Each structure stands twice: as structure tokens, then as C-alpha cells.
Amino acid sequence: MFSGLFATQRRRATAIGALVAVFALLIGFGAGWLTPSLRAPGDNSPEAGFARDMSTHHAQAVTMAMTVYPRATDTEVRQLAYDIALTQQSQIGIMQTWLKDWHLQPTGTRPKMAWMPNGARELTPDGLMPGMATDAQLQELDAAKGKQVDILFCQLMLRHHLGGIHMIDELLQLSHDQDVRDLAQGMKNNQQGEVVQFQTILSRLGAQPLSS
């Protein structure tokens, strides 16, 4: 009699223990605690490629903004330069943190834009990503004086933003990572607003956008 009772209790305890273990696993998976390696983008993923390439793209924008900020003659241009330097440097930090959290190197072994379908075709003849300024254009910006600083910065950054928005649109079509998508969409929204500002400033200064 007692042996049967003990056996029944053991079976119940085992069943309860199994249910608790399953419940804990479900909670862990639901919270993401047990799935980082399953959810982390791989080295060749669109997310990793975007984080690396957009960090490079952003870094040039920060360089141009820091070049112009102390020399701009137009108050609105100076404020835009400040905002771009602050915002895009912060976004670089976020993307580099992602790569670290994903246990990936800041730079990969694949060519630029390889995360995009036909990405190689997106590069300029100089091998630059969409919208990026050439070395000669950066030197011209560095040497510019007076009103020409404001005009050239707006021209270069307008094209730079349009190229960045194109890259973001490609990422949004490829990625299902919500954190990456949220940051990318925020970038796009911000840059679209600044595109309008650059166009308005150029018109006010009597200048035209650069030809694509």
C-alpha cells in the first residue's frame, strides 16, 4: 500500500518538475535570455553589413560636419553641422555596440555593399558608397571660405543623405531585426527632414544641388 502511494507521489513530483522546467524554458525563450546566439545576425547578414557600411558612411558625414561647424557663416548651416555630428556619431556608437554584442568584428572580410543584392553595382567608379564625397571634394570643402563653405557643405550633405536613405531602404527590405529596423527608420526620418532643409538653404543662398 505504502509503496504504491510513494510511487504515485514520485510520478506526480516528476510531472510537476517537468512542467516547471518547460515553463522556465518558455519564459527564457520569450524574454530572449536563452536565444541570443539564435537571434544574433551572422557575419554575412544584411544587419552586420549595414552596421559596418553605415558606420563608414556616417563617419564621413561627421568629418564634414566637424570641418564646417566652426567655419560656417550661416546660422542654420552651423546648427545642421552640429546636429549631424552629434546624431550620426551617436548612431555609429549604437551600430558598433551591436557588432560587439553579436560577437562580430567592426570590419568584415566581404566587399562594401555586399549585403545588398547587386551591391557592387551601387558603388561609384571611385569605389565609394552611394552619396559619399570624393577625396577631392573633401579637400575642396576644407579649403572653402565664406559663403562657399555653407553652399558646398549643403550640396555634399544633400547628396550624402540621399545615398544614405537609399541604403536604409535596402536594409528595410532585407532585415527582420526590429532593433535594426527601428534605428534605420529613425535615420531615414531624420535625414529626410534634413534633405528638405538643405534644399531650402541652397535655394536661399542662390545655389543648386550637385548633379547626381
Q: If you average pLDDT over residues 190-210, what whole number do you get? A: 98
Query: Largest alpha-carbon pair distance within the chain?
Result: 100
Q: Are 194 and 80 in contact (CB under 8 A)?
A: yes
135-172 pLDDT tens trace: 999 999 999 999 999 999 999 999 999 999 999 999 99
pLDDT of residue 28: 42
- Quickly count helices (H) and strands (E) in the chain: 7, 0
Q: If you average pLDDT over residues 76-81, what whole number do you get? A: 98
Report the distance separating Cα 161 and Cα 146, nearest Å: 23
* Predicted TM-score (pTM) of this structure: 0.81
pLDDT of residue 202: 99
pLDDT of residue 212: 67
Q: Is residue 30's pLDDT more than 70?
A: no
Report the distance separating Cα 98 and Cα 92, nearest Å: 10
Is residue 50 very low, low, confident or very high in pLDDT (cuts 50, 70, 90)?
very high
pLDDT of residue 4: 52
Q: If you average pLDDT over residues 12-29, what whole number do you get? A: 44
Residues found in the chain: 212
Sort residue 127 into left (φ over 0), alpha (ψ -120 to 50) or beta: left
Domain extents for the chain? 1-39, 40-204
Q: Is residue 194's pLDDT more than 80?
A: yes
The domain 40-204 having CATH identifier 3.40.50.10310: the answer here is no
Q: Is residue 18's pLDDT more than 70?
A: no
